[in-house]
Amino acid sequence: MKLWGGRFTEDTAPEVDRFNASIGFDRRLWREDIAGSIAHATMLEECGILSAADREQITAGLAAIAAEIEADTFPFRVALEDIHMNIESALTERIGEAGKRLHTARSRNDQVALDMHLYMRRVIVETGEALLALLQELAGLAARYRDVVFPGYTHLQRAQPILLGHHLLAYFGMLARDFRRLEGCWQGADISPLGAGALAGTTYPTRPQRTAELLGFGAVYGNSMDAVSDRDYLLEYLSMAAITMMHLSRLSEEIILWASSEYRFIELADAYSTGSSIMPQKKNPDISELVRGKTGRVYGHLIALATTLKGLPLAYNKDMQEDKEGVFDTIDTLLFSLRVYRDLLRTMTVNRERMRAVLDDDFSNATDMADWLVRKGLAFREAHRVVGEAVQYAITQGKVLADLTADELAALSPLLTPDVLAAISVEACIAARDSYGGTAPAQVERQLAAAQELLASYAALQRERSRRADLPEITK
C-alpha cells in the first residue's frame, strides 16, 4: 500500500504509477532529501515532538540509506513515486514506528520545495566554480595575447584593427555579468520553505528557523502558501543559464569562423575536434557547434517552466513536478558547456601571423585616415567622403590605402600628405584608441588589471557560497 493509501480502496493502475512517478529523475535529490529529514528530526526532538531515541534511530537509518545510495545498491521503486517516498518507506521498513514519525509536521509539498532549494544552492556553487574557471582562462588568454593584432568586425566585415586581448576581454565582461547574476539566483534559493506543511502551516509547535539554521539557510519564507508554490528561483537560474548559453553560443560562432579554412585565425586541438566519416581531410569544430545548438534547448526549458507556472492557482499543483527535468537538463548542459570551453580555449593555437596578414591587406585603417583629415581641419563628413573615394580608387588600382603614392594622395585631397601613412599603420590605429575601454595597449592593461580584481572578489564570494551550501557530513 502507498504511504498515502489509507483513503483508497484499490491500487492505482500500473500506467498511472509510471506516469505519476518522478523517481526516474528526482533521485538525484537524495542527498538533499536526507539532509532535510535529519534537520527536521533534530528540530522535532528539540521541540519535544520527537523522542531522542526516535531521532537517533531516524538519523542512523538515514545514514545507512545514504551509504547504500552512494554505493548504488539502494532499490529505487517506481511504485513509491518519488525520492521522498522511496527513502521514507525504506526507513520505516528498517526502523519501524520511529520511521513513521519522521513526517510529523511536514508535507511532501514543503519537503520537495526544501530539496530543490538545497539542491539549487549546491548547483549555484558548482556553476560559479565552472564560470570562475572559464573567466580565469579568458583573462589568462587575454594577457597572453595582449599584443596580438586582430581584425575587429562589424556585420562580419573587417572594420578596425584591435588587439586580440581586447576581443577576449569582451567575452570576459559577458561571462562576468553571468557570474554576477548568480547572486540573484543564490538569494532566491537561500530561503527555507520547511515548516509550511501542505500550504497552511502546521498545528505543531515547530521552529522553522531552527531547521533553516541547521541547513545553513539565510532566511525562511514568511508565507506558507508562497513557500510551497514558489518556483521563481528556478526561473531565475534558467534565465541566467539561457543568457550564459547565449554568450557561449556567440563565442562558439566566432570559434567556428576563426577555425575555418577561410579565416585560419586559430586551430583547435585534436582532443576538441572531430573528423568526417567520408572526407579524410576534415577537422570539425563539433563541440562549438553543439554548444551553439544546445543553447536553443536551454531557452526551451526556460519557456516551458514559465508556461507551466503561468496559470497555476495557489498553492501546490502536480504540474510543478514538471519543474525538475528541464532544470536538471539545463544544469547538466550548462555545466558541461562551461567546463569544456575552458579546456577548448586553453588548448587552441592562435595564428598571429595570419591575423596580422589580413590587416595588411584590407581597409580597416580607413576611419583613422578620416580622423587624420579632421585633425587637419576638415569636417568629419567631408573627411568621410574623401576617404571613401580614396578606398574606391585604391580598389580600382589593386592597392590598399598604405600603398598609395604621394601624388595619388594629393590628387584625392591636398590635405593628404605622405605623413598620413604613419598615422594609418596597424599599430598606430590601435595605439590611437586610448579612450576609456578602448583597444589601445594601455587601456587593455587597465582592463586586465580590473579583471584580476574582479576575479579575486568573485573567488571570495564563491568560497562563502560554498561554505553555506555545504550539507551535513552524514549526507556526503
The C-alpha cell that represents 35 in the structure block: 539532509
Contact 178, 172 (CB under 8 A): no
Report d(CA 251, CA 291) in Å as an integer.
Answer: 10
Q: With 60 as the cut, is the pLDDT of residue 114 above it?
A: yes
Question: Among the options 166, 276, 288, 384, which is catalytic?
Answer: 276
Would residue 276 show up in a list of annotated catalytic residues for this protein? yes
pLDDT band (50, 70, 90) for residue 476: very low
Tell me the residue type at 74. F
Report d(CA 474, CA 292) in Å as an integer.
Answer: 40
Nearest to 467 by CA among 64, 130, 122, 108: 122
pLDDT band (50, 70, 90) for residue 2: low
Q: What's the rounded mean pLDDT across residues 347-369?
A: 96
Span 288-320, pLDDT tens digits = 999 999 999 999 999 999 999 999 999 999 899
Tell me the residue type at 357. A
Question: What's this model's pTM, rounded to 2 decimal places?
Answer: 0.93
Q: With 60 as the cut, is the pLDDT of residue 444 above it?
A: yes
User: Strand, helix or coil at 270?
Assistant: helix
- What does pLDDT average to over the chain? 95
Q: Which domains does the chain have, with CATH numbers?
A: 5-104 (1.10.275.10), 109-357+446-475 (1.20.200.10), 366-424 (1.10.40.30)
Q: What's the rounded mean pLDDT across residues 184-212?
A: 97
Span 140-181, pLDDT tens digits = 999 999 999 999 999 999 999 999 999 999 999 999 999 999
pLDDT for the residue numbered 469: 92
> Which alpha helices (DSSP H) does 96-163 contain, by range?
97-101, 108-144
Q: With 80 as the cut, is the pLDDT of residue 14 above it?
A: no
Percent of the chain whose pLDDT exceeds 70: 96
pLDDT for the residue numbered 371: 97
Q: What's the rounded mean pLDDT across residues 101-124?
A: 97
Q: Which of 5-14, 280-289, 385-394 has the least mean pLDDT?
A: 5-14
Span 130-146, pLDDT tens digits = 999 999 999 999 999 99
Question: Among the options 117, 155, 239, 273, which is catalytic?
Answer: 155
- Maximum Cα–Cα distance for the chain, whole Å? 102
Nearest to 160 by CA among 407, 371, 450: 371
Span 74-103, pLDDT tens digits = 999 999 999 999 999 999 999 999 999 999
pLDDT for the residue numbered 17: 64
Chain centroid to Cα 81, Å, comes to 31
Q: Which of 18-32, 100-114, 149-163 has the least mean pLDDT?
A: 18-32
Q: Which of 12-16, 278-282, 395-399 has the least mean pLDDT?
A: 12-16
What is the pairing mode between strands 219-220 and 157-163?
A: unpaired
Say which DSSP state 318 is in: G
Contacting residues for 2 by C-beta, under 8 A, at least 6 apart: 8, 12, 79, 80, 81, 85
Contact 228, 316 (CB under 8 A): yes
Would residue 337 show up in a list of annotated catalytic residues for this protein? no
Chain centroid to Cα 145, Å, comes to 25
pLDDT for the residue numbered 10: 72
pLDDT band (50, 70, 90) for residue 19: confident
The C-alpha cell that represents 91 in the structure block: 526507513
